[in-house]
Amino acid sequence: MPYTWTDPDVFISHGGVDVFNVYPDNCANDPPSECRFGFDPACADDCDDRVFDVDDVTPLLPVATRMACAGEAAALITVLIDAGYLTADGFVIDGMLHTDARSIRLAVAAMRGDGDA
């Protein structure tokens, strides 16, 4: 059966950064993921490299902020943008741009002193 590309919906647009929904199994008819998001509209599939899991990056924020935004992905993403971690190009962690999920997880782990993620 032929497929038709459909751009994913914008989950949140804030501070010049658009964050896109991603869809399990790359199917726009399914509900979007509640914790995985993309950096650009080409990231409709939750397995794409330019997709991040909000749970992986919340350790970048102070504990009080995490607790205040618990369970609210839009609030967490807004705070990450305002703090300068999330940009239109990816995550900036310790002055370096990270654009893929593995790199982001490793950078967060290194920042926390956890070693490999």
What is the residue extent of each domain of the chain? Answer: 10-112
- In degrees rounded to 5, what are phi and psi of residue 60? -70, -20
pLDDT in tens, 60-84: 999 999 889 888 999 999 999 999 9
| Residues in CB range of 63: below 8 A, 6 or more apart | none
Question: The pTM is what?
Answer: 0.84
CA angle at residue 17 from 96 to 22, to 5 degrees? 95
Pairing of strands 86-87, 10-14: unpaired
Averaged pLDDT score across all residues of the chain: 84
Predicted confidence at residue 26, as pLDDT, reads 63
Provide the token pair at 81: 């943008």
CB 99 within 8 A of CB 89: yes
Report the C-alpha gap between 37 and 7 in whole angstroms: 13
